[in-house]
Amino acid sequence: MKRILVTGGAGFVGSHLCDRLIQDGHAVICLDNLFTGSRTNIEHLLAHPNFSFIERDVQLPFFAQVDWIFNLACPASPVHYQEDPVETVRTSVLGMINMLELAKSTGARVLQASTSEVYGDPLCHPQDETYWGNVNPISRRACYDEGKRCAETLCFDYHREYGVDVKIIRIFNTYGPRMAKDDGRVVSNFILQALRGEDLTVYGDGSYTRSFQFIDDLIEGMMRMMEADGFTGPVNIGNPHEFTIGELATLVVEMTGSTSKIVHLPPVEHDPKQRKADIALAKEKLSWEPRIPLREGLLKTIVYFRKIL
């Protein structure tokens, strides 16, 4: 049994990670300020003897004797991270510093949940970990993109200067049950619009691409990365099967049996035109690749959203 801290543990990804850690027999401290996380996501864990929840902001220094730290605390959808961009940067940077200081003082291993957004609107395709990115540092998205890039910098500086045991994963588009209804991400948007009989809104001509990863595959990749000795990353964790936004919209309408129409709106400024994970490094170092195809994962996600509507 390990004693493990999960910041952002009441969020979409964090709550699934807490489930996995408890299932594997670990003791989990879930720390979340509930800005985008929800008690509902962890309600089933609250009575478990190995689980504890602390409502607290990661921007505040925190101490607990732990073996592992998963740092997931940060709004991850444009709707939420642009709501208060200064707080988004503070969460990424101050939160990372606080978790690295905790790891430094306790000898814990710390995993930073970074993002494919560090690649910005990429000039190479697909994106591998050697690509430095194409990010506009003064755009509305920069609070998230640059905050995550700075967090990666901090990880490597603490690793080089103080010997902190760090791990960095770059997460590509992930979906599944417990996504927030108001997070503005394309999968949840389309499913909710289809279930409500509303028009599916596609920004641009539908030719932009994404690679969609089901939550269970991400959690498996996170666990393998945390357990891997002698490998800091960064490493891409995503599904390399690329789909256009137009294809996704058509598939959601079909799978929900909806009569919704697909309508096109002007493209969002600085929205990446292509996103596809190169996972050769994850295959080599972690023996990991996603297992759940899009149609199977969408079915599970549609079932979830039907229940909560």
* Positions marked catalytic: 144
Instruction: Give the pairing type, strands 109-115 and 165-171.
Output: parallel
Q: Are 280 and 217 in contact (CB under 8 A)?
A: no
Q: How far apart are CA 113 and CA 218, in angstroms?
A: 11
Q: Are 31 and 5 in contact (CB under 8 A)?
A: yes
Total residue length of the chain:
309
Q: Are 264 and 249 in contact (CB under 8 A)?
A: no
Instruction: State the DSSP H helix or E strand holding residue 174, giving kind and residue range, or none if neither.
Output: strand 174-175
Q: How far apart are CA 270 and CA 141, in angstroms?
A: 8
Amino acid letter, residue 155: C
- The tokens describing 182, both together, are 């108001």
- The torsion of the CA quartet 239, 241, 242, 244, rounded to 10 degrees, works out to -100
Distances from the Cα of 268 to the Cαs of 146, 162, 272, in angstroms?
Answer: 19, 41, 9
Q: How far apart are CA 14 and CA 16, in angstroms?
A: 5
